[in-house]
Homo-oligomer: A and B are copies of this chain.
Amino acid sequence: MNLKELAETLGLSQTTVSRALSGYPEVKEATRNRVRIAAEQSNYRPNTRAKSLATGRAMAIGHVIPVDSKNEVVNPIFAEFIAGASETYTRHGYELILSIAHDEDQARIYNELKSKRSVDGIIVHAPRIADPRIKLLQNIGLPFVVHGRVSDEGKEYSWVDVNNKRAFSRATNFLIDLGHRRIALINGIETMHFASQRRQGYLNALTEHNIPHDTTLMYAAELTEVYGYQSAKALLSLAEAPSAFVVSSYIVAIGARRAIEEMDLKLGRDVSLITHDDELSYFSSAEDIPQFTATRSSVRQAGRRAAEMLLDIIKHPTHAPRSELLKAELMVGLSTGPHRSPRLT
């Protein structure tokens, strides 16, 4: 069933039917109802493609998910972020077009989405410290919101981010207050902006307390369980092993816990650990006391907010760039405790 047919059965013109359904005022309420009912009955819905062509709006948002070229790892936070964004899109009648691409293909994909007119806007995932995608998108004139930030000053763009630096300095301070002095950092790849910020926060806290920076305690890599396991294991095997860890993802923390337990240490007693927790739903901390002390911030909420922001930008293209800083709470769980004198073996 299409507009033409629907109009014919109603004995009205396409114009009137179209207007009736889109809520234009110049159509009698009685006719509008008649049209509405007929549309309902015949299960009519305007063809998206035709509508887009006529209006020039694609009514779709692009998400280009990066995949690590070496290990083909897809970071699970994207699924959760997108779950949040999707809610918003559905509510506003937008579609979500997803593609998954290696870093080196991202620019090409943006270009394509633009020149094929497939989308009205883009969410930029996983920004690097000085991410060329920002300038690219500004040049080709495609509205976008960054999930995270880049550190190029003077660039004006819209973003939604959590206060990573503050979260990690807070976490580190918390451990220092518990008496820990040798604190390890198990971080993401530090060309990623979020990871570099977290490192900053960690280092700042150490500096504040005159604790020297020890690069043997700092790891950075793709955030997998095995990475958490292996780095924690290596760290705990050091002659001067750390007594506490600050960790960049829940999954990495799980790997670290595995290493800790395998070495017959007890998390929260022999070793303390604070992780960042994106509140992935299947790790839902629906427990009285969470297993990990964590800096917690809902990535699904970030998805919702970023999507709303992008739709708003599309609606009001002339406005100045917007931004929103979500804060991460420090939630105390079972994985932290006071520093104890070196264990006797």
Interface residues of A (CB under 8 A from B): 1, 43-50, 52-53, 58, 60, 65, 67, 71-76, 78-80, 82-83, 86-87, 89-90, 95-101, 111-112, 115-118, 223-226, 251, 254, 257-258, 261, 280-287, 291
Contact = CB atoms under 8 A, between A and B. Distances in A.
Copies in the complex: 2
A49 B82 contact: no
A71 B223 contact: no
Given A71-B281, A224-B282, A258-B291, 11 more contacts: A49-B49, A74-B79, A76-B79, A82-B98, A86-B100, A90-B100, A96-B98, A223-B282, A224-B284, A251-B282, A254-B254
B283 A251 contact: yes
A118 B53 CA distance: 13
B95 A118 contact: yes
Nearest to A45: B115
Chain A contact residues, majority secondary structure: mixed
A71 B284 contact: yes
Given A83-B67, A95-B97, A98-B98, A284 B47 contact: no
Contacts of A76: 76, 79, 280, 282
Contacts of A286: 71, 226
B116 A48 contact: yes
21 contacts: A45-B116, A47-B117, A48-B117, A48-B118, A49-B117, A49-B118, A53-B53, A67-B83, A74-B79, A74-B282, A76-B79, A76-B282, A78-B79, A83-B100, A86-B98, A96-B97, A97-B97, A97-B98, A98-B98, A224-B281, A224-B284
A204 B252 CA distance: 37
A115 B43 CA distance: 7
A335 to B, nearest CB: 11
